[in-house]
């Protein structure tokens, strides 16, 4: 099974390097037969290949069984016409990675503003207000005059139904509750279509409860009553914002893992950015990417019906919890003094036993 490692920008090379020992330890312990290949992406790729995401790298990603993608500093990229392609947007669109699954839960020993949080945000990943991926050709954001800017929001019944189905499947394996987050009281047509599609899918899951919450209320309820939520399904931008809020409340963005998944491809990618301000200092928290890698293994296990991959994913999650429960393994963002590499080594030691 081939796994492509794409270090990315900023802290990306550091956290991918810290994640690799854990994956190697899992491979040996569970006999997974993983074959790793590393390719540049982002600014390093642009310097070498003239593009932040070359055709050769895109082909390699498509050919691999899965990929681990480090954060990308798109703000620092040159314009697209000069090779500054947004890797995340391009991959989500070209590989049809319609489900961005982002769990947030308080972890042992880690100070959390909401210790009762244990939820998953199922975020639609290919539509919404994201101007670089919601059109067949061109951008969904444009300026008819120099003083007028317009943005198109794309919501389809098909896109809404498939992220809803992913959410209900997740909930069926958890606490059997889905919360649809929307603003249909104002965006009556677009959010109305999303909400109608979720309700239609809910009919196929009579064992899973569905409730509906307005986006502004949800932002407050995540702080007040996080334990009330199990799986949250929502559109692209709402999901992006809510999942960052949930990660911060559960202990920090350094814990925010995610997987971008479609029917054929899966990519592990931490929910946070490239953090260029701390790049090269060895203090970045690799937890989010480790958790993301565990989610990728779980997705691969389900797709290929290989129990060992699911067991390895569970072992990695447990190893992260055990390492973080010891204060000496926590990076500065969590109040500790461990380096990025030391946290990675701690997790690998737990896996090895």
Task: Out of 98, 183, 191, 238, pick the active-site residue.
Answer: 183
CA distance 76 to 39: 20
CA distance 108 to 115: 10
The position carrying tokens 């769990």 is 103
Task: Out of 9, 27, 191, 240, pick the active-site residue.
Answer: 240
Task: Out of 204, 216, 263, 325, pick the active-site residue.
Answer: 216
Alpha helices in the chain (DSSP H): 12-30, 43-49, 55-63, 87-94, 157-172, 190-202, 215-224, 236-249, 287-304, 307-324, 340-352
Q: Which residues contact 70 (CB under 8 A, 6 or more apart)?
A: 6, 7, 8, 9, 11, 12, 13, 15, 16, 41, 42, 269, 270, 274, 289
CA atoms within 13 A on the CB side of 114: 23
CB 87 within 8 A of CB 53: yes
CB 216 within 8 A of CB 185: no
Q: Residue 176 catalytic? A: no
Task: Out of 9, 191, 230, 244, pick the active-site residue.
Answer: 244
Q: Residue 132 catalytic? A: no
Tokens of 234: 């929502």
Residue 260 backbone phi and psi in degrees, to 5: -100, 115
Q: Residue 240 catalytic? A: yes
CB 93 within 8 A of CB 204: no
Q: Residue 207 catalytic? A: no
Q: Residue 322 catalytic? A: no
CA distance 148 to 267: 37
Q: Rounded to the nearest 10 degrees, how much is the dihedral formed by the CA atoms of 123, 126, 127, 132?
A: 130
Task: Out of 130, 154, 191, 238, pick the active-site residue.
Answer: 130
Residues catalogued as catalytic: 130, 183, 216, 240, 244
């Amino acid at each position: 099974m081939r796994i492509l490692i794409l270090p990315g920008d900023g802290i990306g090379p550091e956290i991918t390097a810290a994640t690799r020992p854990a994956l190697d330890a899992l491979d040996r312990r569970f006999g997974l037969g993983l074959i790793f290949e590393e390719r540049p992406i982002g600014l390093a790729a642009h310097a070498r290949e003239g593009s932040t995401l070359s055709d050769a790298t895109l082909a390699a990603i498509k050919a691999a069984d899965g990929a681990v993608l480090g954060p990308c500093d798109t703000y620092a990229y040159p314009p697209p016409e000069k090779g500054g392609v947004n890797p995340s947007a391009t991959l989500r669109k070209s590989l049809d990675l319609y489900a961005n699954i982002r769990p947030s839960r308080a972890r042992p020993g880690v100070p959390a503003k909401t210790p009762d949080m244990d939820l998953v945000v199922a975020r639609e990943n290919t539509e919404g207000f994201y101007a670089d991926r919601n059109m067949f050709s061109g951008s969904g954001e444009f300026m008819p005059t120099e003083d007028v800017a317009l943005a198109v929001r794309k919501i389809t019944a098909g896109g809404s139904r498939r992220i809803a189905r992913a959410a209900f499947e997740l909930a069926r394996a958890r606490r059997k509750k889905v919360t649809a987050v929307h603003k249909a009281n104002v965006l009556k047509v677009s959010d109305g279509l999303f909400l109608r599609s979720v309700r239609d899918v809910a009919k196929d899951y009579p064992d899973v409860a569905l409730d509906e919450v307005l986006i502004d209320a949800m932002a407050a309820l995540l702080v007040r009553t996080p334990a009330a939520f199990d799986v949250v399904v929502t559109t692209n931008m709402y999901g992006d914002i809510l999942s960052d809020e949930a990660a911060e409340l559960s202990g920090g963005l350094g814990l925010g893992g995610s997987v971008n998944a479609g029917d054929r491809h899966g990519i592990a990618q931490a929910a946070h950015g490239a953090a260029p301000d701390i790049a090269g200092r060895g203090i970045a928290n690799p937890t989010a990417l480790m958790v993301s890698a565990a989610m990728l293994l779980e997705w691969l296990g389900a797709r290929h019906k290989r129990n060992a991959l699911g067991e390895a994913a569970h072992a990695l999650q447990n190893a992260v919890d055990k390492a973080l429960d010891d204060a000496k393994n926590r990076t500065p963002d969590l109040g500790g003094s461990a380096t990025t590499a030391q946290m990675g080594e701690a997790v690998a030691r737990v896996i090895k036993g």
